[in-house]
Every structure is written in C-alpha cells, then in structure tokens.
Copies of this chain bind each other. A is one copy, B any other.
Amino acid sequence: MAATLRQIAEHLGLSQPTVSHVLNNRGQFRPETRQRVLAAAQKLGYVPNAAARAMRNNRTFQVGVVIANDRAHPGHAPQNFFAITGLNEGLQSRGYVFSVVRVSDVLAEDPQQQSRVFRERMLDGIVVLNANRRIVEKRVGSLVGKTVWADASHWATHNCIRPDEYAAGRLASEALVRGGARRLVWLDPDIGIRDGGLHYSFSERRRGAEDAAAEAGVSLVGITCSRRANKLFDQSIAEYLTPGTGIVAYDALRARTVALSAMRKRLCPGENFGLACCEIVPEQEWNWPELTRAGFDRFAFGEAVAEMVVSLLDESGAPQLSTRYPCQFVQGSTCRCG
C-alpha cells in the first residue's frame, strides 16, 4: 500500500538514491528532476518507513517515560498526566515520539513480563518521572543508556531536573503566617507506597514548612492524611479547623480532602481557618481560584524535561547539568486564618 523509494524511482526511471536525496533535501538536482520526484511522492502517497530509517540511522527518535501507574496503582498521581502532555509537546516538536512504560515493567524479573521497550532495543533514551524507589534507579540504568530523572528522588550532578519543592512548602506556609496563623498544621501524605522510600517532595515541602514556622515562631504539628481519607481523618482534622490555625496541605488532593471535611462541618477555609496547598494544578484556577497555593506548572515542567532529554540525545550526547525548576505562588485568600 505505502509506496517505497524504490517504487517511486522505478515509476520515474530514476535511481533510489536520487529519490532519497531529493526528498531529504540533500545534494543538488536539476529543478525538473526535483519537481518530478516531489510530484510522484505526493501522488503515490509516499511516507517513509520509520523502522527502515531507525535501522539505518541507528536512532529510533523514541524515548520512554517511566511512571508508576499500573494495575496495582491505577489512580496514582494523576497530576503526572500534565507533565506527560508537556513532555509530549516538547518532544514531538523536535521529532521525537514517546512511549509510556510502567515501573512494574522496569522491576519485572521475568523478561516476558517486561514491556517490549526493554525486551527489545527500541528507545534512544528514557525519562523517569516522579519515581521514589531506589530499585527503579538501579534497574533503569542497566536497561537503557541515556536516562533523565525528572521530579524523581534520584538526584545527581547530571541528567536530573527537579522542581523546587522546598520553596513550595515554604511559600505556602509563609502565606499562612502572613494570614495570621498562630499555629501551623502539616498534612502528612501517608501514601502507603513506602517500599523504597517516600518521594523526595515529601521531606522538601515539609522542610520548607518547618523553616517558615520556625522563623515566624509559630508551632507546627504534623497529622497524617492517607490518600484514602476515611472518617478517622474527618475526626482528626476537626480540632484544627479553627481560627488561628493554618493548614499546609502536601498536595492538591489533600487540599480537596480538607475542603470536603470542612464542607461537612459547614466551615470554610479563609474564614474559619487557614489553608494553603503545596501543589498547583489547572483545576484550581477553574473552580477554586481563592486557594492559596505554591507549586510548579507541570505542563511547562514537562516541556523543560523534553528539552533536557533532547539535548542529552543530541549529537554530543554529553551529560546535562542537573537543574532545579522554579516554583510559582498564587496568593489567593484561603490563607486568611480567621
């Protein structure tokens, strides 16, 4: 169905290399030849065969993105989606394509259980997104050569890119202090995936909150808010939904959880208590603009990751200096502690 270079060449009585050169804009040709080739390619619906190109060039222009979402964690970290779409935006404009790979593929001992991206050589490089487990680091390195660590616990001098989570925790907490908080409550995300360590953002954001509290001379207590927040959480948060208290939510999910708890008790952040969130997601701008929040633009972050990957895979192939990605702050009004 799809025409090949040879078919076009035969059709025109030219050689395959000539057609190839013209279509790839290499070399000099009589304008007439050029025209004929271009017209024929158009007419016959020529589309290059990616596999043949990849084989010849020894480059697939394809990268993998490792995320944790598999059957065991179907709803995990949906905010990664924003980074992934940003990554896609950045990669596609540079001629790359990417595939999604699950952490469980990386960790599978049985090769048959692994994704084909590891069973066969098909990736130029890989991006590990939002990973917290040490074991992932070890395995990925051994499977694919060029790796970029994005928003991952792994941090080294090169090939890592990471948002400034400390600033997020600090900015959110400082807003609460300015809003009149006499005590701060840190909402500890007990996410359950503790095998191999929590994501670094947990300690970074918390450290930012602790420093802000210390500097302002206000107390900070931590309470646990599992992802699956049941009535127990409703009860344990109850005593903190009071004037003078500022709650620092680890992420957008926990902020929503607090809002729902408040709603059940006919309370409202920014009036009866203070609330600030250490994560920014698009939805907040749509239906909760008054939420005080600090965090990074995940879509733009994904684009920055794409840039790093592409540089890493380009000619030189030199390791890229690790970078920190900046944080934004949205003042909002929920930081008013009543």
Instruction: Give chain A's interface residues, CB within 8 Å of chain B.
Output: 1-2, 47-55, 60-62, 67, 69-71, 74-75, 78-82, 84-86, 88-89, 92, 95-102, 105, 115-117, 119-122, 145, 227-230, 253, 256-257, 259-260, 262-264, 266-268, 281-283, 285-289, 299
A60 contacts B50, CB within 8 Å? yes
Number of copies: 2
Q: Which residues of B have CB within 8 Å of A53? A: 120
B283 contacts A47, CB within 8 Å? no
| Known interface pairs A75-B82, A256-B287; A92-B120 also in contact (CB < 8 Å) | no
B121 contacts A50, CB within 8 Å? yes
A88 contacts B116, CB within 8 Å? no
A286 contacts B122, CB within 8 Å? no
Counting chain B CB atoms within 10 Å of each CB, the highest count among A1, A71, A287 belongs to A287
> Which of B2, B86, B228, B260 lies in contact with A121, CB distance below 8 A?
B2
Q: Which residues of B have CB within 8 Å of A101? A: 92
> Which of B71, B257, B268 lies in contact with A89, CB distance below 8 A?
B71
CB distance from A320 to the nearest CB of B (A): 21
By secondary structure, the A interface counts as mixed
A288 to B258, CA, bound (A): 11
Q: Which residues of B have CB within 8 Å of A98? A: 99-100
Q: Which residues of B have CB within 8 Å of A257? A: 286-287
Q: Which residues of B have CB within 8 Å of A260? A: 259, 287-288
A60 to B48, CA, bound (A): 14
A136 to B102, CA, bound (A): 29
Q: Which residues of B have CB within 8 Å of A84? A: 81, 100
B61 contacts A55, CB within 8 Å? no
A-B pairs with the 9 shortest C-beta distances?
A: A75-B282, A50-B122, A51-B54, A81-B81, A50-B120, A74-B299, A257-B287, A69-B85, A263-B263
A197 to B266, CA, bound (A): 39
B97 contacts A117, CB within 8 Å? yes
Q: Which residues of B have CB within 8 Å of A81? A: 69, 78, 80-81, 84
CB distance from A39 to the nearest CB of B (A): 16
A55 contacts B49, CB within 8 Å? yes
Q: Which residues of B have CB within 8 Å of A286? A: 75, 227-229, 253, 257
Q: Which residues of B have CB within 8 Å of A78? A: 78-79, 81-82, 282-283
| Known interface pairs A97-B117, A98-B99, A286-B227; A51-B47 also in contact (CB < 8 Å) | no
A79 to B86, CA, bound (A): 16
